[in-house]
Amino acid sequence: MSDDFNMSMRKFLKQVGVTSQQAIEEALRKAGDSGKAYKIKAVVTIDELDMTHVVEGEIKSGD
């Protein structure tokens, strides 16, 4: 893949990572459930390519 593609991909994934972490941390603070585990799912879609990628996991809030 081209350098332009790699740079745009990295920029997008960095934005997803940073903004998602901020949103998750804020939601956990509001919930106030210390030590609880939450199921989480991230969905990335590219409509024009009819692509959907799903990642599921678990996040444990701090003690």
Q: What is the pLDDT along the chain (63 residues), one digit of tens a residue?
A: 899 999 999 999 999 999 999 999 999 999 887 789 999 999 999 999 999 999 999 999 876
Q: Is 23 exposed, middle or buried (CB count within 10 Å of its CB: 0-12, 13-18, 19+)? A: exposed
> What's the predicted TM-score (pTM) here?
0.81
Report the chain's C-alpha Rg in angstroms.
Answer: 15
Structural domains counted in the chain: 1
Helix, coil or strand: residue 44: strand
Segments forming the whole domain that contains residue 19: 3-60
